[in-house]
Amino acid sequence: MVQTKQRFASFEEYLSYNDGSDKLYELYNEELIELPIKSGTNVQIANRILLIFALLIGIDRVRGHGLELEVRGEPRNRYPDLTIIQEEHIKLLANRNTIRLTMLPPLLVVEVVSPGELQRDRDFVAKRLQYQDCGIPEYWIIDPEKQSILVLELVDKVYHEVGIFAGNDLVISPQFKSLNLPALQIFEQVNG
């Protein structure tokens, strides 16, 4: 991660920043941290799950890695690999692809775990706590290393494990009950 010198006194000040590039930044301790480029495996898995949800609910409510979520704590924002937004978000996100804490939360966020212990901790612990705090009803953690999908559901403001799905297991989604997705479909062509 590359750190810039730019500092921001508030999240609102950060939202008005535009460096003219397509780079994504997390706001950490009032400074911008440039996000690294995703691995090919992570992009492949994220694209596959995006297509599955686009076919299930329509493309307008499915957002890829460019959607930004304002969160509490540090960093102040996150970019899930996939987000399923609510119908009302479509118009609200027309100018800036950022879901603020003052808006309803998205229905689902998905993270594809990057290699390395730090990244695993970030997805399994830090992001889990931040997404839980935002009131996001469902959070998936897709683990390419273990070829598994952990589905978490928010119950009484706390994430509870719905299950860990692998191989021929059908992924159970509390928000999307009509989903008919064997876990292996997410990983089929990743390693071969």
Asked if residue 146 and residue 60 are part of one domain, the reply reads yes
Residue 189 confidence (pLDDT) = 65
At 127 the pLDDT is 95
16 in the same domain as 98: no
Question: Would you state the pLDDT for residue 24?
Answer: 76
Strand order in the sheet with 77-78: 77-78, 68-70, 98-99
Residues 116 and 170 in one domain: yes
Strand 68-70 to strand 98-99: parallel, antiparallel, or no bridges (unpaired)?
A: parallel
Whether the full predicted model's pTM is greater than 0.95, yes or no, is no
31: helix, strand or coil? strand
Regarding whether 135 and 84 lie in a shared domain, the answer is: yes
Which structural domain range is residue 21 located in? 1-37
In this structure, the answer to whether residues 110 and 29 fall within a common structural domain is no
Instruction: State residue 9's pLDDT score.
Output: 80
Phi-psi domain of 70 (left: phi exceeds 0; alpha: psi -120 through 50; beta: other): beta
Predicted local confidence at residue 167, as pLDDT:
96
Q: Are residues 104 and 162 in the same domain?
A: yes
Query: Do residues 30 and 48 share a domain?
Result: no
Q: How many domains does the chain have?
A: 2
Residue 137 pLDDT? 98
Residues 15 and 44 in one domain: no
Averaged over successive runs of 10 residues, the pLDDT of the chain (192 residues) comes to 66 82 78 76 93 95 93 94 96 93 98 87 93 98 96 98 97 96 87 49
Q: Are strands 82-84 and 108-112 parallel, antiparallel or unpaired?
A: antiparallel
Any domain includes 192: no
- List, edge to edge, every strand of the sheet that includes 25-28: 2-7, 31-34, 25-28
Check whether residue 31 and residue 52 sit in a common domain. Answer: no
How crowded is residue 172: how many other Cβ atoms within 10 Å of its Cβ? 15
Q: How confident is the model at residue 16, as a pLDDT?
A: 80
**Same domain flag for 17 and 104:** no
